[in-house]
Amino acid sequence: APVRDLAGVRVVVSAGPTREYLDPVRFISNPSSGKMGFAVAEAARDRGAEVTLVTGPVTLPDPAGVRVVRIESALELRDAVVDAARDAGIVVMTAAVADYRAATQSGEKQAKVAGDVTIHLTPNPDILAELGREKGDRVLVGFAMETHAGVERAAGKAQRKNADFILLNYPTREGTAFGGDDNQVTLVRADGSHEDWPRVSKREVAERLLTEAARLLPAAR
């Protein structure tokens, strides 16, 4: 049986992509499968945590014993995560949040026109950074996908967003990241210290992540 080291701890996990609608039938999104976040939610559940999983549109079924909130846009993701994070001990942001949304959303399907069109995009809020600004005792964990200067960029993100650590992964490594069942990540802290983890299943990455997060929980809980 797994160690119930997270008994009584509320854990919030975000997963999957967001969809930023341009009109009722078109959106901007990305290929996030949700597998990493679902693995974190299931691992936390099995270690005794009370888990809320906030997920964008993915094909995975609701895990048993987890409160699942299905959202589409980054703004919906923010509302659900901020709400659930209020009394959380650990928040893990695996969601691939779209950086931008349409500045205005058409209520009607946009007809094709001759020639080029321009879409005006406006930045989405950074949810992890928002949580980091009122961090309290919560342990905050992020993910980052980089094609180059990974450790440096991930450390900068951990610092700017006030996250305890970021798990860095690479979109180009075979069998890992988007859609894969395995992941090869590097744990990166704000001070630039980092550890390469071996390529293991997403479930095993989740277990290691939670072990690291549990060590950072305030002692007197």
Q: Which residues are catalytic?
A: 30
Is 157 near ligand C5P (CB under 6 A)? yes
Among 66, 144, 188, 209, binds ligand C5P (CB under 6 A): 144
Span 87-106, contacts to ligand C5P by CB under 6 A: 93, 95, 97
What is the Cα gyration radius of the chain? 18
CB of 129 to ligand C5P, least distance (A): 7
Is 165 near ligand C5P (CB under 6 A)? no
Question: Is 128 labeled as ligand-binding?
Answer: yes
Q: Are 221 and 213 in contact (CB under 8 A)?
A: no
Q: Which residue lies nearer to ligand C5P by CB, 48 or 135?
A: 135
Q: Which residue lies nearer to ligand C5P by CB, 6 or 85?
A: 85
Instruction: Pick the closest to residue 88 from 126, 162, 141 (CA basis).
Output: 141
Among 15, 43, 54, 128, binds ligand C5P (CB under 6 A): 128
Is 127 near ligand C5P (CB under 6 A)? yes
Q: How far apart are CA 108 and CA 12, in angstroms?
A: 35
How many residues bind ligand C5P (CB under 6 A)? The answer is 12
> Using CB under 6 A as the criterion, which residues of the chain lie in contact with ligand C5P when the complex forms?
74, 93, 95, 97, 124, 126-128, 142-144, 157
